[in-house]
Amino acid sequence: MMRACSLVRSSLPIVLLAIGDRTALGQSPERGFFVGYETLEMAMNEFKNFAGEVGFRLSPKHQLRLTVMEVDLTERHLASKWESFAVDGPNVEGYFQGYEANVDRFFNGNWYVSGAVGYYKDSYRHTQLDQSLENKTFTLGSGIGYTRSRLLGIRGLYVNVNMPVRYYFNPIRETKWGETTIKPHVVVNNLWVFAGFKP
């Protein structure tokens, strides 16, 4: 998996802070809509464009979510071994567009597993050479997550920490541009932290 180790290492303190204790306090099993803004991917890319989620809690055990990712990827983020490591080398910027429908099943308090289908478009551009790449694909994936309501004791405020892993039906093959390499995208994972409102 392309980004698993690097994302876990860089984001573990944020995840532990968001999770807090392991009790079910703060769980919100009531039916209803929620909407959130993704903070981790956006922070790593200087908050360029938009990423978020909207969903509906069907029951104490099930919820539906739609994640929307439209992120301008910085050269620093793409080449960082602690964040993305999608590119080995300098001078490449990108754009990450994804739409993913998730079905979540809660299994232990606020913890859940999910299944997902999605559509992703990845674009990369060399800033000095006349080289670019665009890839569109449908995806199938799963993930694990943790959500907590009444964050910091504030009614309606929630956090959702989600680690999805997805398979690209149309993968990106390893691509070399001069001394820079676009790494393969076949099985791709992320770590996302959503913060938002749940009535």
The H or E element spanning position 40 is: helix 40-44
pLDDT confidence of residue 31: 86
Lowest-pLDDT range, 11-20, 71-80, 175-184?
11-20
User: Percentage of residues in the chain with pLDDT exceeding 90?
Assistant: 78
pLDDT at residue 42, as a whole number: 96
CA distances from 184 to 70, 119, 197 (A): 20, 17, 36
Q: CA 128, CA 25: separation in Å to the nearest integer?
A: 52
Residue 137 and residue 31: Cα distance in Å, rounded? 33
pLDDT at 29 (0 to 100): 59
Longest dimension (CA), the chain: 54
d(CA 147, CA 19): 8
Give yes or no for a contact between 28 and 109, defined as CB atoms under 8 angstroms apart: no
Domains for the chain: give ranges and CATH numbers.
4-197 (2.40.160)
pLDDT bin (cut points 50, 70, 90) of residue 26 is very low
Give the pLDDT confidence of 112-171 residue by residue, as tens digits: 999 999 999 999 999 999 999 999 999 999 999 999 998 888 999 999 999 999 999 999
Check residue 58 and report its DSSP letter.
-
Q: Which two tokens stand for residue 79?
A: 């080449």
pTM: 0.83
Predicted pLDDT of residue 199:
81
Q: Do 92 and 107 touch, CB atoms closer than 8 A?
A: no
